Chain A
Amino acid sequence: MNPPIIFALSILFLPLVSFIFQIFIGWRIGRSAHWVSLICLGGVLALSLSFFANAFLIEGYPILEESVTWFSTGEFTIAMGFNIDRVAAIMLVVVSLISFLVHVYSTEYLKGDPRYNRYFGYLGLFTFSMNGIVLADNLVMMYVFWELVGLSSYLLIGFWFEKPSAADAGKKAFLTNRVGDIGMFIGIMILFFLFGTVNIEDIAYEVSLGMADGYMSLLTAAGILVFMGAVGKSAQFPLHIWLPDAMEGPTPVSALIHAATMVAAGVYMVVRIFAFLTPTALQFIAVVGAVTALMAAIIAITQNDIKRVLAYSTVSQLGYMIMALGVGAYQAGFFHLTTHAMFKACLFLASGSVIHAMHHALHHKGDHDTDPQDMRNMGGLKSKLPVTYWTMLIATLALSGVPLFSGFLSKDAILAGTLAYYHAHHGWTIFLPIAGFGAAVITAFYMFRLIFMTFHGEPAKPDVHAHVHENPLPMTAPLVVLAFLSIAIVFTLPGLNPIVNHGWFTHLVTTGENYAGLVMEETVEGIHHAHNAAMTISLIVATLGILFATFVYYLKKVDAGKLAKMMNRVGLYNLSFNKFYIDEIYEAVLYKPFFWWCNVFSKIDWDYYDQKFIDGWGWVTMKISEASGYSDYNWLDQKVVDGFGKLTQYFSKELKQTQSGVIQNYVMGGVFGLLIILIIFQSI
C-alpha cells in the first residue's frame, strides 16, 4: 500500500478508533481520556491538509483513486473505494477542521456531563461516517456511510435522552431522513441496472459516452430519486422538519453536524453526481432549493430561540446551495458549502458560548425556569462576552453577504447563477432569483435581529446579566479561528481583492462538467454576465435587511410588537412563527392517520382474521365433531346398537314367561316344534 492509501485509511479510521476507545475504555479513565480523541482528530486534520496540499500539486487527475471488492456473488459485485479529487480534498479539510475545533470546544462545553466520554465517542463515530461519505467513490458506499451519519446524528441529538424533546427529536431526525433514503436507494438501483455499476465516475463516463441516450427520462428519475437522499439529509422542503428539532442536541453538535458538515452531505452528494444529472432533474433540484431557502428564511424572522433562528438559517442556506447546483452554478454551490461551514459553525459555537454563559449565570442564581436559549431573556451581552460578540458579528456579516467577508463571495455567485438561469429560461424561473434575493434580504434582517436582541440594548434580566462571564479559552479559541476563516481574503488568496473571487478556490474547483444535457459553457458564460448585476442587487438587499433590523431592534424606531401585529392582520406573523404549520399538517394528515390505520390493520390481523376466521375453522371443526360425537353416541350407540340390546332384552323378558317349570308345557312345545320342522322339510 502506498502512503496516500494509508493516509486515506487513517483519515477514515482514526475517528473510529476514538469512538471505540471512548466507548470501551475511555469512560473508565474519565475526562482526561478526551486527549485520545483530540490526538486522533488532530491526526485526521493533518492528513486531510496533506491531501489538500496535494490538490495544488497534482493537475487534472484525482489525488487518489483506489477500489476493492467488498463482496461479490460472481456476477453481482459491490466495491468499496476512495476517490479523492479536489472537491473531496477540500471537503475533508472542512470536515476534519470543524470536527477538531468542535472537539476542542466540547472539552469545556460538556465538562461535568456524566456521559462525557460517550459524547466524544459519538463525535468520533460521526467523523468516521462523514469522512466515509466524502471519500466514497461509489453510491452504495456513500449510502452506507449516509446511514451511519444518520445513526451518529440520532445518537447525538438524543444525547440528553432523559429530555423527552431530545428523545423525540432524534427519532424524528432518523425517520425523516429514512424517507429520503428510500428515494436515494431506489435511484441507486435504477442507476445500477442502467449502467451495471454504482461507481460515480464510471456512471458519469458511461453517460458521457451516450450510454443513457434513449433512457433520459429514466436518468432524470434516477437523479431526482438519488437527490431525495439529499432532501432528507440537507433538510430541504418538505423533509426539513427534523433539523430545527435537532437543536435539542448539545450545541457543539449542532455546529458540527447540523450546520457545517452532515447537513452539507446532501449538497456534497449532488456535487459528486452533478455530471449525470439531467437538466430536468436539475430544474427540480433548483426549485426545491429555492422554496427551501425562502421558506426557512421567513420562519427564521420570528423565532425567539437563538438556536432555532440559526437552525432555520441553516435550512435556508442549504436551500441556497441546492438551488445553486440546480441552476448549474456548480462552483458557487460548493463554494457556499465551504464558506457557510466556517461561518455557520462559528455562529453555532458562539451561540453555544452565549447559552453556556447564560446557563451558568442562571445556575448561579438558582433559576431553573428561565430558558437560557431565549433571546428575549438576553440583551446587552456585548460587554460581558466580547470575544463571543466580535466573532459572532464577523460570522453574521459573512452570512448576511457583506463585502470583505466570505459569504459575500459565495452568495453573490449563487445569485448570479439564478439570474443567469432566468435569462436562459424566462417565464416562471424568475421565481428562482426572487427567492434568492428575497432570502438574502431576510437573512440580513434576522441575523442582525439576533445580534441586537442578544448583545445590544438593555439587559432583559439585569440580575442574570450581572453573572454572565466570558467562557474560557477552549471555547473562545475555536470561535476566533472560525471567525478568521469567515473573512473573504482567506478564500481569494493569493488574490488580495476581497470582492473578486479569483483565488485558490476557483483554481481548485472547476466550473463543473455535465454529460447529461446541460451545456456548461453556456451556463458559465451566463453566470459570468450576470455577475455584476447580482453583486449590485445583493449589496442593496443586504444593506436593506441590515438597516431595517437596525431600525427595529437597535434604534427601536419601529416597535417590533406593532409590526408583528400589523403583519398578523393577514396572518403572516403566525404563519412564520408557526413554521407554516408544516409539523401540524404532517401530524394531522400523515402521522395520525398512519398510526390509526396501523391499529386498524392490527385489529384486522388479530381480532378479526385470526380470532374470527382462523379460529372460526376450529369452531366449525368443534361443532362438526360435537355433532358427530352426539350422533355417534346418542343415535348410533344409544339408539341403534343399544336398540339391539334392548330388543333382545325385551324378547328375553317376554320369552321368560315360557319358562314356567311345567313339564307338560315343555313337551307340548317340543311336539309343536317337531311338527313345524316336519312341515318345513315336507314342503322342500
Chain B
Amino acid sequence: MSSHILSWLVFIPIIGALVSIVYQQAAKVKGLDAEVVAGTHKWIAAVATGIQLLFAVWLYTMYDPAGGIQFQEKFSWIPQFNIDYFLGADGLSMPMILLTALLSFIGVVSSWKIKKSPFGYFAMFLLLDTGMMGVFVSLDFFLFYIFWEVMLLPMYFLIGIWGGPQRQYAAIKFFLYTLFGSVFMLLAMLGLYFYADPHTFNLIALIQSASSIDATIWGINVQVLIWVALFIGFAIKVPIVPFHTWLPLAHVEAPTAISVILAGVLLKMGTYGLLRINYPLFPELVYWFATFLAVLGVINIIWGALNAIAQVDLKKMVAYSSVSHMGYVLLGMAALISESPAGAQAGINGALMQMFNHGTITAMLFLLVGVLYDQAHHRYIFYPKDYHDPKLAGQPGFGGLGAKLPIYSAFVAFAFFAGLGLPALSGFISEVMCFIGGFSVFRTLTIIGTLGILLNAIYFLRAYRYVFMGPLNEKYAGLKDMTGREMFTLIPLGILVLLFGVYPAPLLDMIAPTMNALVDLIHSAGSIMGIQ
C-alpha cells in the first residue's frame, strides 16, 4: 500500500464519490428516506476525507526531508506522446498535501448542515478534493494539467449551486477567469513539449532540457513566452493583482466550506505552480523576473490590505486579506535571487511556510465568519451606505458580541491576531522570513511592504471592535455560542497555528532541504550567467 500511497491519496475521494453514486442509485430503488440518505452521504464524504487525512499523516511520518522526491509512481500512460502517470512528493508538495487533506476533511465536517442536495454537494466536493490532491503530487505536466482542470468543474458547480445570492455570477466569473489562465497554461505546456528535446511532459526531465530551449517566435525567446504564459495561468489563481477580482466575489458567494478550500488550497496552486514549474525549468529567467514579482508582491500586500480596510462585509474583508497575505509569498519567492544565502533561504522557505500558514489561518477566518452568518444571516461589520433599510444604512451590523459569545469571540480574536501576524502565531514567522528575504534584495520595496504590518492590523482590529466590542446590540442577544462541531473544525487549525508559531521546526525542517536545493539550482544558473 505504501508504494502507491500517493495514488491512494489522490483517488480515495473519488472512490468515496463512486460509493456515494452507487448508494444513491440503490437508495432510489429501495425508496429510502431522504434524511437517511443525506446523512449517509455526509458520512461517506467524512470517512473518505478522513481516511485521506490519515494517509497524509502516514505520508508525513514516512517522509524523509533529505530524500529528494519520494513515493514516486511512474508508468507510461499515453506512450505515443510520452505522457506518464508520474507522481512524487518532495518538500514543496508535502505541506500542500497535508494542507489539502486537512482542509478537505474540515470542509466536509463544516458542511454538515448542508440542506440542498447533499448527494451532489459531497460528490462534487470529493471530486474537487481529488483534483487538488492530484495537482500537488503530479510530476508530469500533462497529468498536472488534467488535475488542474478536473478541479475547476466541481468548483463551478459548488459555487453556482450552493452559493449565496449572486452565486451564478460568481461561478461564471471564477470559471471564465480561470479558464482564461488555463488557455495560456495549455499553450505553454504544448510549447514546452514541442520545443524540448526529447519531447516530454515529465517535469523532472524538463528541468534538464527546458532551459536549453533556443528558439524564437516572432523574434521573442520561446522560454520567455512559455514563462509568461505559465505565469498568467498561475497569477490568476494566486491571485496576483490585477487578476484578483474573481476572488472577493467567489469567496463571498461560495458556501463556507468552499471558501475555506478556495482560500486555503486553491490560491496556493498558483504559487505552487510557479515554484514547481517556472522556477526549476527556467532558472535564468527567475533573475529576469524576480524584481517584477517582488513589485507585484508588494502591490498585493498593500492593495489587498487597503481594500480590506474599506470593506463592510466581514467575508469580503477576509477575502481581500487573502490577496494581501499572498503578496508575502510572492515577495519571499522573489527573494530567492538574493546574493545573501541567508536572505535567499529565508525568503523562499518563508514563502512556502506562508502558503501553509495562510491556509490554516484563512481557513479559520472563513469558518468563523460562517459560524456567525449561519445564525445571524448577515455578516456586515457596518451596513452599507446604500442598504435598502435606511435606518440601518451605515450602522454597525453587530456590536458587543464579546460579552454574549465568549468562546466564539476568543476564537475570532485568535484568528484575527494570527491574521495580523502576531508573534507566537504561525503567520508571524513566515511573514518575517518573507520580509527578511525580500529586504536582502529589494530594500525600498520591502520597506514599502512592511506597511502591511500596520494595514493588516487596521482592518482586523476595526472589525473586532465593531462586532465584538461596545454595548451589546440587543437584536443579537439571542445568539448561541459555538457548537461542539464548529469547535471541532477550528481546534485542529488553531493548534497548528499556535504550534508553528511557537515551534516552526517541524514544518521548516520538512521543507528546507527541498527549498534550499531550489536556491542552489537557481543560484548555480545565476553564477553561470555571471549574476551570482
**What is A's interface to B at a CB cutoff of 8 Å?**
71-77, 140, 143-145, 147-148, 151, 154, 158, 161-164, 166-168, 170-171, 174-175, 178-179, 181-182, 185-186, 189, 192-193, 196, 595, 597-599, 601-602, 605-606, 609-610, 614, 618
Inter-subunit contact B505/A193 (CB<8 Å): no
B423 within 8 A of A: yes
Inter-subunit contact B508/A71 (CB<8 Å): yes
Contacting residues, chain B, for A186 (C-beta < 8 A): 439, 447, 450
In-complex Cβ contact of A158 among B469, B471, B512 (8 A): B469
In-complex Cβ contact of B306 among A162, A174, A597 (8 A): A597
Provided the pairs A171-B461, A185-B435 are in contact, do residues A196 and B342 lie with their beta carbons within 8 angstroms? yes
In-complex Cβ contact of A164 among B303, B422, B429, B471 (8 A): B471
Contacting residues, chain A, for B450 (C-beta < 8 A): 182, 185-186
Inter-subunit contact A175/B454 (CB<8 Å): yes
User: A140's closest neighbor in chain B, by CB?
Assistant: B432
A161 to B306 Cα, complex, angstroms = 26
User: B437's closest neighbor in chain A, by CB?
Assistant: A76
Contacting residues, chain B, for A143 (C-beta < 8 A): 423
Chain B, 333-351, CB within 8 A of any chain A CB: 340-346, 349
Given A164-B471, A178-B454, A606-B248, list of 10 further CB < 8 A pairs? A73-B508, A74-B512, A144-B423, A171-B462, A186-B439, A193-B340, A595-B309, A597-B306, A602-B307, A602-B311
Contacting residues, chain B, for A161 (C-beta < 8 A): 400, 402-403, 468-470
B472 within 8 A of A: yes
B32 within 8 A of A: no
Inter-subunit contact B341/A162 (CB<8 Å): no
In-complex Cβ contact of B342 among A76, A158, A163, A185 (8 A): A76
Contacting residues, chain B, for A614 (C-beta < 8 A): 245
Inter-subunit contact B342/A75 (CB<8 Å): yes
Inter-subunit contact B345/A75 (CB<8 Å): yes
Contacting residues, chain B, for A151 (C-beta < 8 A): 417, 422
Contacting residues, chain B, for A178 (C-beta < 8 A): 453-454, 457
CB distance from B171 to the nearest CB of A (A): 14
Provided the pairs A73-B346, A601-B306 are in contact, do residues A144 and B424 lie with their beta carbons within 8 angstroms? yes
Q: Most A CB atoms within 10 A — which of B245, B435, B505, B516?
A: B245
B451 within 8 A of A: yes
Please classify the interface of chain A as helix (H, G, I), strand (E, B), loop, or mixed, using the class held by over half of its residues.
helix
Q: 0/1 per residue, B400-433, Cβ < 8 Å to A?
A: 1011000000000000010000111000110011
Inter-subunit contact A602/B516 (CB<8 Å): no
Contacting residues, chain B, for A77 (C-beta < 8 A): 342
B378 within 8 A of A: no
A304 to B286 Cα, complex, angstroms = 63
B258 within 8 A of A: no
Q: 0/1 per residue, B443-463, Cβ < 8 Å to A?
A: 000110011011001100110
Provided the pairs A148-B422, A178-B453 are in contact, do residues A76 and B245 lie with their beta carbons within 8 angstroms? no
Provided the pairs A182-B454, A189-B435, A602-B310 are in contact, do residues A74 and B468 lie with their beta carbons within 8 angstroms? no
Contacting residues, chain B, for A144 (C-beta < 8 A): 423-424, 428
Inter-subunit contact B306/A71 (CB<8 Å): no
Contacting residues, chain A, for B504 (C-beta < 8 A): 71
CB distance from A586 to the nearest CB of B (A): 14
Inter-subunit contact A162/B469 (CB<8 Å): yes
In-complex Cβ contact of A73 among B457, B462, B515 (8 A): B515
**What is B's interface to A at a CB cutoff of 8 Å?**
176, 242, 245, 248-249, 303, 306-307, 309-311, 340-346, 349, 400, 402-403, 417, 422-424, 428-429, 432-433, 435-436, 439-440, 446-447, 450-451, 453-454, 457-458, 461-462, 464-465, 468-472, 503-505, 508, 512, 515-516
Q: Most A CB atoms within 10 A — which of B343, B465, B504?
A: B465
CB distance from B447 to the nearest CB of A (A): 6
CB distance from B370 to the nearest CB of A (A): 22
Provided the pairs A162-B471, A162-B472 are in contact, do residues A182 and B451 lie with their beta carbons within 8 angstroms? yes
Inter-subunit contact B307/A605 (CB<8 Å): yes
In-complex Cβ contact of A181 among B446, B453, B471 (8 A): B453
Provided the pairs A148-B422, A185-B435, A601-B307 are in contact, do residues A73 and B345 lie with their beta carbons within 8 angstroms? yes
Inter-subunit contact B458/A175 (CB<8 Å): yes
Contacting residues, chain B, for A164 (C-beta < 8 A): 469-471
A178 to B346 Cα, complex, angstroms = 23
Contacting residues, chain A, for B345 (C-beta < 8 A): 73-76
CB distance from A280 to the nearest CB of B (A): 20
Inter-subunit contact A606/B402 (CB<8 Å): no
Contacting residues, chain A, for B340 (C-beta < 8 A): 193
Contacting residues, chain A, for B512 (C-beta < 8 A): 72-74
Contacting residues, chain A, for B468 (C-beta < 8 A): 161
A-B contact pairs, 14 of them (CB 8 A): A71-B504, A75-B341, A161-B400, A161-B468, A162-B470, A166-B469, A174-B457, A186-B439, A189-B435, A189-B439, A189-B446, A598-B306, A602-B310, A605-B303
- When A and B form their complex, what is the total count of cross-chain residue pairs whose Cβ atoms lie within 8 Å? 133
Inter-subunit contact A148/B424 (CB<8 Å): yes
A156 to B188 Cα, complex, angstroms = 56
Contacting residues, chain A, for B471 (C-beta < 8 A): 162, 164
A186 to B440 Cα, complex, angstroms = 11
Contacting residues, chain B, for A196 (C-beta < 8 A): 342
Q: Most B CB atoms within 10 A — which of A145, A174, A179?
A: A174
User: A144's closest neighbor in chain B, by CB?
Assistant: B423
User: B338's closest neighbor in chain A, by CB?
Assistant: A193
Inter-subunit contact B403/A162 (CB<8 Å): yes
Inter-subunit contact A609/B245 (CB<8 Å): yes
User: A162's closest neighbor in chain B, by CB?
Assistant: B471
User: B461's closest neighbor in chain A, by CB?
Assistant: A171
Inter-subunit contact B508/A147 (CB<8 Å): no
Inter-subunit contact A168/B508 (CB<8 Å): no
User: B310's closest neighbor in chain A, by CB?
Assistant: A602
Q: Most A CB atoms within 10 A — which of B242, B310, B402, B512?
A: B310
Provided the pairs A178-B453, A182-B453 are in contact, do residues A189 and B436 lie with their beta carbons within 8 angstroms? yes
Contacting residues, chain B, for A167 (C-beta < 8 A): 465, 469-470
Inter-subunit contact B505/A71 (CB<8 Å): yes
A590 to B205 Cα, complex, angstroms = 55
Inter-subunit contact B349/A73 (CB<8 Å): yes
A606 to B457 Cα, complex, angstroms = 22
A189 to B440 Cα, complex, angstroms = 9
A311 to B453 Cα, complex, angstroms = 27
A163 to B471 Cα, complex, angstroms = 7
Inter-subunit contact B470/A148 (CB<8 Å): no
Inter-subunit contact B461/A174 (CB<8 Å): yes
Inter-subunit contact B311/A609 (CB<8 Å): no
A622 to B508 Cα, complex, angstroms = 49
A72 to B436 Cα, complex, angstroms = 13
Contacting residues, chain A, for B428 (C-beta < 8 A): 144, 147
Inter-subunit contact B343/A193 (CB<8 Å): yes
Provided the pairs A171-B461, A174-B461, A618-B176 are in contact, do residues A598 and B400 lie with their beta carbons within 8 angstroms? no
Contacting residues, chain B, for A599 (C-beta < 8 A): 310
Contacting residues, chain A, for B176 (C-beta < 8 A): 618
Contacting residues, chain A, for B505 (C-beta < 8 A): 71
Contacting residues, chain A, for B303 (C-beta < 8 A): 601, 605
A154 to B344 Cα, complex, angstroms = 35
Inter-subunit contact B422/A147 (CB<8 Å): yes
In-complex Cβ contact of B309 among A74, A162, A185, A598 (8 A): A598
CB distance from A179 to the nearest CB of B (A): 6
A189 to B347 Cα, complex, angstroms = 13
Inter-subunit contact A185/B453 (CB<8 Å): yes
Inter-subunit contact B349/A76 (CB<8 Å): yes
Inter-subunit contact B439/A193 (CB<8 Å): yes
In-complex Cβ contact of A609 among B242, B344, B429, B458 (8 A): B242
A457 to B313 Cα, complex, angstroms = 55
User: B409's closest neighbor in chain A, by CB?
Assistant: A161
Contacting residues, chain A, for B433 (C-beta < 8 A): 76
Contacting residues, chain A, for B343 (C-beta < 8 A): 76, 193
Contacting residues, chain A, for B454 (C-beta < 8 A): 175, 178-179, 182
User: A141's closest neighbor in chain B, by CB?
Assistant: B423
Question: What 6 pairs across the A-B complex have the smallest Cβ distances?
Answer: A602-B310, A167-B469, A610-B245, A144-B423, A161-B469, A75-B341
